[in-house]
C-alpha cells in the first residue's frame, strides 16, 4: 500500500470552484473519510487522486511519487463508484476477473482464480459467481463492484459513496465488512460519504470539506470533541448538535454569538426550566425533544425514564462549545 499526499490542490470548472488549496495526507494503511454535503468537493478530490481529472494547481503523490504525468491505469488505484458500474452481459466471476486480465497486470490464470475465490468468499457472493450481474439484487451488485476493486490489490482504494443506495441493514453489514477488510489487509483507503455514521465508525481520519475547502482533518473522536467551527461540529454526531444564541444560558465568552450543545452536553437537574415536547424510546436510550426559551433542543436520557410529553425539567449546559459570528470556535 502507499501514502497519498495532496499539496495545494485547486480545481475549478468554469466559474465554479470545486477545490480551493486543499492539502492533506492519507497515511499508508489509513482509512480516510471525506465528509461533507453535495458540492463540498469530495468526489473531485477522489478524481484528483485517480487521475480522472487534473488539478489546476498543486501536486498529488502516491507512495512518494508525483503522479501528474501518469494515467489512471498507471497510478495503481482502484475506484468504487456509487452506482455499480458492472458489465451486465458478464457473470459475477467474469466481472471480478476483468481488472486482473488487463495488459498492465497480466495476472496468471491460477492467480486470477485464487483472488476471485478469496474475495468472493469474504464478500459472501461465492454462490453467485456464475450468475449474470443483472440477476443480482442491489446489495449483491454493490458487493461485486467492491470485489472488483479488492481483487486488484492496488496501492490505494478510492470509494465514492459506495453504500448510499443500499437499505439500512445492508449498509450496516457492509460497513462492518469494509472496515474489517481494510484493517486486515492494511489497505490505504480514501472514502467519500455524507453519512456521519460511516465516518464515525470506519475512519481512522476524517477530512471535513466545505465549498472546496478542507476545514478540519483529524480522528473522528477529535473532530467530534474539538470541532474548529459550527460547520465542522454539525458534520458529526447523531442527533445533530444543538445550536442556539449564546446568551440563552448566560456566561458566554465575550465574542461568542452561538452556543453549541451536543445531546450529552445538556445536563438535567439544577438549571432552567424546559418543556418536554416529545419522547422517543430507542431501546438503549431515550431522546427528549425539548422546548427551551422558544428554541428546540434534543438531548438523551436513561432508557427507562418515566418522563413524558408535557413534563417540565431543568437543564444546564456542560462543557459547551461557543462560536463567533463567522462560525469559528471560541475558546
Q: Is-same-fold flag (4-234; 239-330)?
A: no
- What 3-state class would DSSP assign to 234? helix
Q: Rounded CA gap, 168 and 213, in Å? A: 30
Q: According to the model, what pLDDT value does residue 13 have?
A: 93
pLDDT digits (tens, 9 = 90+) for 296-322: 999 998 888 899 999 999 999 999 999
Q: Are 178 and 161 in contact (CB under 8 A)?
A: no
Q: Are 222 and 216 in contact (CB under 8 A)?
A: no
Count CB atoms within 10 A of the CB of residue 199. Answer: 24
Which of 298, 287, 293 shows the shortest CA–CA distance to 260?
298
Total length of the chain: 331
Q: According to the model, what pLDDT value does residue 85 have?
A: 78
- Which residues does 180 contact at the CB level (< 8 Å), separation at least 6? none
Q: Rounded CA gap, 291 and 272, in Å? A: 11
Enter the C-alpha cell of residue 21.
488549496
**Where along the chain do its domains lie?**
4-234, 239-330
**Is pLDDT of 201 > 80?**
yes
- E strand segments, the chain: 4-13, 16-26, 31-35, 57-62, 65-66, 77-80, 156-160, 189-193, 205-210, 213-218, 242-245, 258-261, 266-281, 286-292, 295-301, 312-317, 321-323, 329-330
Evaluated on CA atoms 38, 232, 230, 319, the torsion sign reads positive
* pLDDT band of 176, cuts 50, 70, 90: confident
Quickly tell me which residue has 466545505 as its cell: 210
Fold (CATH) for 4-234: Rossmann fold (3.40.50)
Q: Which of 27-31, 149-153, 311-315 has the lowest mean pLDDT?
A: 149-153
Quickly tell me which residue has 461533507 as its cell: 36
| pTM for the model | 0.88
Count CB atoms within 10 A of the CB of residue 96. Answer: 27
Fold (CATH) for 239-330: OB fold (Dihydrolipoamide Acetyltransferase, E2P) (2.40.50)
Amino acid at each position: 500500500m502507499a501514502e497519498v499526499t495532496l499539496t495545494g490542490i485547486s480545481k475549478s470548472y468554469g466559474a465554479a470552484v470545486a477545490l480551493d488549496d486543499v492539502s492533506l495526507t492519507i497515511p499508508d494503511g489509513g482509512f480516510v473519510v471525506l465528509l461533507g454535503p453535495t458540492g463540498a468537493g469530495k468526489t473531485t478530490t477522489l478524481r484528483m487522486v485517480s487521475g480522472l481529472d487534473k488539478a489546476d494547481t498543486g501536486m498529488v503523490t502516491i507512495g512518494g511519487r508525483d503522479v501528474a504525468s501518469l494515467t489512471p491505469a498507471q497510478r495503481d488505484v482502484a475506484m468504487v463508484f456509487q452506482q455499480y458500474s458492472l458489465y451486465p452481459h458478464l457473470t459475477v466471476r467474469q466481472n471480478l476477473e476483468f481488472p486482473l486480465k488487463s495488459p498492465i497486470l497480466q495476472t496468471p490464470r491460477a492467480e486470477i482464480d485464487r483472488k476471485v475465490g478469496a474475495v468472493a468468499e469474504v464478500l459472501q457472493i461465492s454462490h453467485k459467481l456464475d450468475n449474470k450481474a443483472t440477476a443480482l439484487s442491489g446489495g449483491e451488485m454493490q458487493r461485486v463492484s467492491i470485489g472488483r476493486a479488492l481483487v486488484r490489490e492496488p496501492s490505494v482504494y478510492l470509494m465514492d459513496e459506495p453504500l448510499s443506495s443500499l437499505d439500512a441493514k445492508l449498509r450496516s453489514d457492509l460497513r462492518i465488512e469494509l472496515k474489517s477488510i481494510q484493517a486486515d489487509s492494511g489497505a490505504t483507503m480514501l472514502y467519500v460519504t455524507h453519512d456521519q455514521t460511516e465516518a464515525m465508525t470506519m475512519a481512522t481520519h476524517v477530512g471535513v470539506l466545505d465549498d472546496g475547502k478542507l476545514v478540519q482533518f483529524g480522528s473522528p473522536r477529535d473532530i467530534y470533541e474539538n470541532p474548529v467551527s459550527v460547520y465542522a461540529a454539525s458534520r458529526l454526531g447523531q442527533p445533530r448538535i444543538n445550536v442556539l444564541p449564546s446568551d440563552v444560558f448566560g456566561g458566554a465568552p465575550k465574542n461568542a454569538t452561538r452556543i453549541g450543545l451536543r445531546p450529552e452536553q445538556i445536563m438535567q437537574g439544577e438549571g432552567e426550566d424546559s418543556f418536554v415536547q416529545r419522547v422517543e424510546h430507542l431501546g438503549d436510550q431515550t431522546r427528549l425533544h425539548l422546548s427551551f426559551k422558544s428554541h428546540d433542543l434534543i438531548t438523551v436520557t436513561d432508557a427507562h425514564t418515566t418522563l413524558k410529553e408535557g413534563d417540565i425539567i431543568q437543564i444546564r449546559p456542560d462543557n459547551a462549545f461557543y462560536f463567533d459570528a463567522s462560525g469559528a470556535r471560541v475558546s
